[in-house]
Amino acid sequence: MRWRIPYILLMGVVLAGIIHIAVVLLIPQYSTRDAWAYLSGRTNLFSFTIFEDVSQLSGISEVDPFFSYGVCRFDIEEAPLRLVGKQTELFWSASVFDESGKVIYSLNDRTAIDKKLNLLIIDPVQALDIRGNEQAEIENSIIVEANIRLGFVVVRILRPDDGWKAENQNFLKAIECSKFLTVEPQQNLEN
């Protein structure tokens, strides 16, 4: 009888140790399932994907059923990202995430120029190229200089009720997610 309590405590400690070891050994398997990996199987690079069912996005962030969502994945080493959308009266927001799902930049219709989605995501080296080569087409763009390689942008638009679904879909379908190719400055070939 005297040994029953210490025996139960010892077995509890052993069981806790086994559980902790199992958790530590399972961490590498689950850590590769980050936001980037989750979206890789559902979206293409430099392509805007509309998610009809918001529960499909629950793997990357908290979703609100009163919003419609779309996602664009990018690889800055391949090319800068240009994300352009049309103007709308409904509230929208766009958040830039790194590959692990951490927000690095966010904007909405109130902070955007002329309430239009016009975003250019570049790395610091590409920023130097663009600054040395002013281009009229990016004059109204919000330029996000991000020191990341892989990332994605989540665009969401308010849908107070199902009557707004068509307008939301039109806004999301009009979004262009593309590579931004810089124009090389013309060199003066005079001798």
pLDDT in tens, 16-38: 999 999 988 887 666 556 778 88
Close Cβ partners of 68 (under 8 Å, ≥ 6 residues apart): 50, 54, 156, 157, 159, 165, 168, 169, 172
| Predicted confidence band of residue 153 (pLDDT cuts 50, 70, 90) | very high
Cα 78 from Cα 97, distance rounded (Å): 17
pLDDT digits (tens, 9 = 90+) for 53-94: 877 776 666 788 889 999 999 999 999 999 999 988 889 999
The answer to whether the CB of 151 falls within 8 A of the CB of 99 is: yes
Whether residue 149 contacts residue 75, with contact meaning beta carbons closer than 8 Å, is answered with yes
Q: Does residue 124 or residue 187 have the better pLDDT? A: 124
Per-residue pLDDT tens for 106-150? 999 999 988 899 999 998 888 887 776 767 677 788 989 999 999
What's the start-to-end Cα distance of the chain, in Å? Answer: 104
State the number of CA atoms in the 13 A half-sphere of 186 facing the CB: 4
Query: How far is residue 178's CA from residue 47's CA, in Å, rounded to a whole number?
Result: 7
Evaluate if pTM is beyond 0.85: no
User: For 69, phi and psi rounded to 5 degrees?
Assistant: -125, 150
How far is the C-alpha of 74 from the C-alpha of 79, rounded, in Å?
A: 8
